[in-house]
Structure 1
Amino acid sequence: MNCIIVDDEPLARRAIEILIEETGGLTLLGMFNSALSASRFMEDNPVDLVFLDIQMPKMTGLEFARSLSANTLVVFTTAYTEYAVESYDIDAIDYLVKPIELPRFQKAVSKALSYHALLQGDFNTALVEDDYLFIKSDRKFFKVEYKDILFIEGLKDYSIIQCENQRLITRMNLKNIFEELPAGSFFRVSKSYIINMLHIHAFDNNHVHIKGNEIMIGNNYRDEFMERVLRKKKSL
């Protein structure tokens, strides 16, 4: 997968370059000190993945990300945590806070490689029933009961259904699949995630924790989520 680095700090660019060298599946095409120079390069060169800083002069990483093609994936790399929620509203693959450790970087790359394969192929369709989904994958239909779903992640026109022991992709956008799910068990916590309330291990004002996964709560969804959780507690 072809990638570039966009960061106005030379040391930060070199640090990410080293991480890429120690990670498989990536071909680094170039490094750029501004979004404008990266944009010019991308006019003539296909780029699958951008490692993108946020605070840069003239054009911020968030502004640049909004201008990219839907087929170009973004991993934000920044020293600031306060842009995390906004980054997920842009459908970023991941949000890495500097200094970035190799295992965390490789986890983000693995996710990007999976999404890249998803965008390149015609993966699955889904059949929605009362208590379960049938997901078509590799010429087979897999039955997935709602109670086994941990969360569902959206990317463009696809949804990734994450269960404890399997991960399935369907060609349905998150909005459409959410409308088919039982409202009592599932809740949309951000533009990119639906969670199964039955599997919440812990939560705070910004995140929900499910089976070792930390899922961001979007600003526009937080109040309703908290009200829903408190209402369920009162009914117990």
Structure 2
Amino acid sequence: MRCVIVDDEPLAREEMQELIKEVSQMEVVGVFSNALTTMEFLKEHQADLIFLDIEMPMVTGLEFAAQLPKQILTIFTTAYSQYAFKSYELDAIDYLLKPIDKARLEKAISKAEAYKRLLSDDTEKNIVQSNTSDFLIIKSDRRFHRLNFNDIRYIEGLKDYVVIYTGSQKLITAMNLKTIHQKMPQHLFIRVSKSYVVNIDYVDSFDHHNVYVGESEIPIGEVYKKDFFKMYSGGSLNPEE
């Protein structure tokens, strides 16, 4: 994969370059201090992934990410945690807090590489074919897969695709999250953010910010929090407490 680093702090740019070299074989094709010069670079050069700071002069990282082509993946790198929910609304691959932990960076890069492989596998034909009251049939990786609703743990939206997670596999199909959610039992699956739908039976625990499904930490969006608390607890829990 080819990546670009965008950060207005020189030291942060240097540290990111060194960390990337330590944990991956990714090629750094550009390092920039602001979004405007990065955009000019991307008009003439190819990149698969951008490591993007948020609080920058002229154009913020959030504003820049909203303008990026769909095929370019984004990992936000920032010292501020308050932008996390907004980053998921922009379909970011991950959100890393400074100082960036090497193991955490490695995990984020692995996730980006996995998405890149999935999106390159003829995904434009991977559409949901049919559904019944018990299962969903999707086309993924040139095969049709029957997925029992009870086996689906959660679904993650990524741009124009969704990734369906079961206990043993993850499958990608070309469909937005809202559309596939509408094809599923509404008493079992609930939208918890712009980017995630979870099977309520697989929720191990939750707090005011995240839902935990096994080892996966899934953010709860403010818009969806009230409905999640109501559905999960039958109205006995107050998301404001």
Normalising to structure 2: TM-score of the pair?
A: 0.92
Deviates more, 1:11-20 or 1:52-61: 11-20
Partners in 2 of 1:64 and 1:171 — Cα distance?
25
Partners in 2 of 1:10 and 1:138 — Cα distance?
42
Partners in 2 of 1:156 and 1:39 — Cα distance?
20
2:151 alignment partner in structure 1: 148
Partners in 1 of 2:15 and 2:44 — Cα distance?
26
Find out whether 1:161 has 2:164 as its counterpart.
yes
1:2/1:26 contact within 8 Å kept: yes
Find out whether 1:198 has 2:210 as its counterpart.
no
Deviates more, 1:80-89 or 1:30-39: 30-39
Aligned-partner SS, 1:121: coil
Partners in 1 of 2:192 and 2:11 — Cα distance?
36
Partners in 2 of 1:203 and 1:138 — Cα distance?
33
Matches within 5 A, 1:30-41: 30-41=30-41
Aligned-partner SS, 2:138: strand
Cα pair distance change 1:133/1:43, threshold 3 Å? same
Percent identical residues? 47
Q: Deviations over 1:59-99 (max 9, x none)?
A: 11001111111111110001110000000011111101111
Q: CA RMSD in A?
A: 1.6
Aligned-partner SS, 2:222: coil
Task: Report how far residue 166 of structure 1 moved.
Answer: 0.9
Q: Letter of the 1:191 partner, please give it.
A: K
Find out whether 1:216 has 2:216 as its counterpart.
no
Q: Deviations over 1:160-192 (max 9, x none)?
A: 001111111112221111000001110001111
2:7 alignment partner in structure 1: 7
Matches within 5 A, 1:117-156: 117-123=117-123, 124-126=126-128, 127-156=130-159
1:175 alignment partner in structure 2: 178
Deviates more, 1:79-88 or 1:123-132: 123-132
Q: Letter of the 1:26 partner, please give it.
A: M
Partners in 1 of 2:127 and 2:17 — Cα distance?
38
Q: Letter of the 2:201 partner, please give it.
A: L
Partners in 2 of 1:184 and 1:131 — Cα distance?
13
Partners in 1 of 2:102 and 2:230 — Cα distance?
38
Partners in 1 of 2:148 and 2:115 — Cα distance?
24
Partners in 2 of 1:228 and 1:107 — Cα distance?
32
Partners in 2 of 1:156 and 1:33 — Cα distance?
26
Matches within 5 A, 1:40-119: 40-119=40-119
1:34/1:57 contact within 8 Å kept: yes
Partners in 1 of 2:225 and 2:141 — Cα distance?
37
Partners in 2 of 1:178 and 1:137 — Cα distance?
17
Q: Deviations over 1:31-77 (max 9, x none)?
A: 11111121121121112110000011111100111111111111000
| Number of aligned positions between the proteins | 234
Task: Report how far residue 25 of structure 1 moved.
Answer: 4.4
Q: Any stretches of 5+ residues in structure 2 without a counterpart?
A: none
Partners in 1 of 2:46 and 2:141 — Cα distance?
29
2:160/2:174 contact within 8 Å kept: yes
1:202/1:209 contact within 8 Å kept: yes
Q: Deviations over 1:121-151 (max 9, x none)?
A: 3233333222112233344322221111110
Deviates more, 1:164-173 or 1:223-232: 223-232
Partners in 2 of 1:207 and 1:128 — Cα distance?
29
Q: Letter of the 1:219 partner, please give it.
A: E
1:25/1:113 contact within 8 Å kept: no
Partners in 1 of 2:112 and 2:214 — Cα distance?
21
